[in-house]
Amino acid sequence: MKTIFFDAGPIISLVMSRLDWILPELKKHFGGQFYITPAVKIELIDRPLKIKRFGFEALQVMKHIREGTLEIYKQVPDKRVLELKNLANSSFKIGNKNMDIIQAGEMESVASALQIGSDAVVMDERTLRLFIENSKEMEKLLEIRFKKDVTSNPTKMKKFSEQLKKVKIIRSIELVSTAYKLGILDGYIPRLKTGKQMLVNSILWTTKFNGCAVTTHEIEELERFLLK
């Protein structure tokens, strides 16, 4: 069975961009299951419901669960999650203190995906993606983010990234791009000569501004690809 796991970030990005309605359409084309883990559910629903500012966003996610677009994956390999989280969070230090760089939702999603050989994990947060794809750049990123000297443990970094190298990471911006290529967003194309370009530019930038970690250069490349 085809499966994709979602971290909280991409769903939040889609909800805030008013694009979460593409999820059931994408699921139909994918022909598989869209999963979130219990820790991701807490981030998307349980905590936001207690905050007036984010309550409606939580209700939108609940609707996707109620309608079956998103399913809660309950067979999370807790022991593997803890092992990977401890390994990741002891790979970098500021002074003598370990840095907690990986959150429960991210690690549950990745560990669960590995457990069942999932097709991909959708994740917007740059930290874990970079750790998996280019761990050598992680130290630079953390120093920029925390504005302090960071020391790394190359052995632990390598062990962590090797265990996760089979995980395919995609972002919400790739989901939006796929929706455009499938014609799901055609109804938004204005009747202007530059209508398609306006739509593509708008959906890519709104996804970035609502939380997807993507560079201007990547957006420009995606725009050229989508408008071929």
Q: Residues 85, 28: one domain?
A: no
Q: Evaluate whether residue 222 is within a structural domain.
A: yes
Q: Residues 221, 159: one domain?
A: no
Q: Evaluate whether residue 57 is within a structural domain.
A: yes
Supply the pLDDT for residue 30. 97
Domains in the chain: how many in total?
3
Q: Evaluate whether residue 111 is within a structural domain.
A: no
Q: Residues 83, 146: one domain?
A: yes
Q: Residues 162, 177: one domain?
A: no
Structural domain harbouring 15: 3-72
Q: Residues 193, 203: one domain?
A: yes
Q: Residues 51, 68: one domain?
A: yes
Is the model's pTM score more than 0.85?
yes
DSSP state of 167: P
Scanning the chain, the segments in alpha helix (DSSP H) are 8-16, 22-30, 38-41, 55-66, 78-88, 104-116, 126-133, 138-146, 154-163, 172-181, 195-209, 216-226
Q: Evaluate whether residue 86 is within a structural domain.
A: yes
Per-residue pLDDT 10s for the chain (228 aa) are 899 999 999 999 999 999 999 999 999 999 999 999 999 999 999 999 999 999 999 999 999 999 999 999 999 999 999 999 998 888 888 888 888 888 889 999 999 999 999 999 999 988 887 777 776 777 787 888 888 888 888 888 888 888 888 889 999 999 999 999 999 999 999 999 999 999 999 999 999 999 999 999 999 999 999 998
Q: Residues 52, 133: one domain?
A: no
Q: Residues 32, 46: one domain?
A: yes
